[in-house]
Amino acid sequence: MNRNPNAIDTQRLTLLLTELRLPAIRAIWPDFAARADKEGWPAARFLAALAEHEIAERDRRRIERHLEEARLPPGKTIDSFDFDAVPMISKAQVTAICAGDGWIEKGANLIFFGPPGGGKTHIAAAIGLALVENGWRVLFCRTSDLVQKLQAARRDLALEAAIAKLDKYHLLILDDLAYVAKDQAETSVLFELISARYERRSTLITANQPFGEWNKVFPDPAMTLAAVDRLVHHASIFEMNVESFRRRAAIQRQVKAGRPPTYATAKTSRSIDSRDNQPQDQALPDQL
């Protein structure tokens, strides 16, 4: 009995594709092959379609991995950010930042100042998310958590290695710089980090206090000056001097409901926020 010369051993093909580390092709080839046979694709078109698919899947999986490692707070996107509430920042400006081109290769920095509730963490996380989607690697940290980790690394004589590990992130987001305790050992690790990234890797900082008060963040004025100097050398600085977003939203809802805005106390805001099914402690801004 003559064997069909076109017959292939599909089990062996699956093994070969596994060996070649082509999981997307392994999963999709039977469908593509059926279509190609039905529509009479030339062999080269079939091969090209498979290759394109493998590459697209790789990109998707890489971004998925980078999104996971970025540890961004969920749900904070550019689309859900109300730019009307922060007139000093334009959407066009932020959209340009999100592309990453031009500043991130140079290791330039972004600094967001403003009182609590003004949207600093939101915009920082949203920029981080957009950058990851555009192929950059990002890590979001609460500054105090990162400082603690670096401090522990220093005790193990591994500070340099810990800082070097952060090099793989094109952007390091240090959220809430001002919450770092004023302690010589703690805060100099932050200085080491800033120095190590200077002109090589970008850092985004959010802070409640202006530079003038950063003496409370670093152990001595000379170090504060040196840190600020490195940070601002190549930086875009945004002042978000707006009222707490949630406080304003609560007041607006009360006005709409026909009650005077003075009713927007912590108590009434809590009842308003609970209508949105948000957890109450999260729904309330830090300083209502």
Nearest to 148 by CA among 203, 187, 201, 101: 187
Give the tokens for residue 124. 């920082």
Q: Note the residue count of the chain.
A: 288
How many residues at the interface with ligand ADP, by CB under 6 A?
Answer: 18
Nearest to 122 by CA among 253, 212, 210, 249: 249
Residue 122 contact, options ligand ADP, Mg ion, none, Cβ 5-8 Å cut-off depending on partner type:
ligand ADP
Told to check if 245 binds ligand ADP by CB under 6 A, we report yes
Told to check if 238 binds ligand ADP by CB under 6 A, we report no
Residue type, 105: E
> Cβ of residue 99: shortest distance to ligand ADP, in angstroms?
21
> Cβ of residue 20: shortest distance to ligand ADP, in angstroms?
45
Told to check if 128 binds ligand ADP by CB under 6 A, we report no
Told to check if 214 binds ligand ADP by CB under 6 A, we report no
> Cβ of residue 171: shortest distance to ligand ADP, in angstroms?
17
Query: What's the first-to-final CA gap in the chain, in angstroms?
Result: 85
Q: Which residue is at the shortest CB distance from Mg ion?
A: 121
> Cβ of residue 138: shortest distance to ligand ADP, in angstroms?
17
- The tally of CA atoms less than 13 A away on the side-chain side of residue 35 is 10
The residues, any chain, with a CB within 8 Å of residue 223's CB and separated by 6 or more, are 187, 188, 191
Interstrand relation of 109-113 and 202-207 (parallel, antiparallel or unpaired): parallel
Residues in contact with Mg ion by CB under 5 A are 121
Q: Which residues bind ligand ADP (CB under 6 A)?
A: 76, 80-82, 85-86, 114, 116-122, 206, 245-246, 285
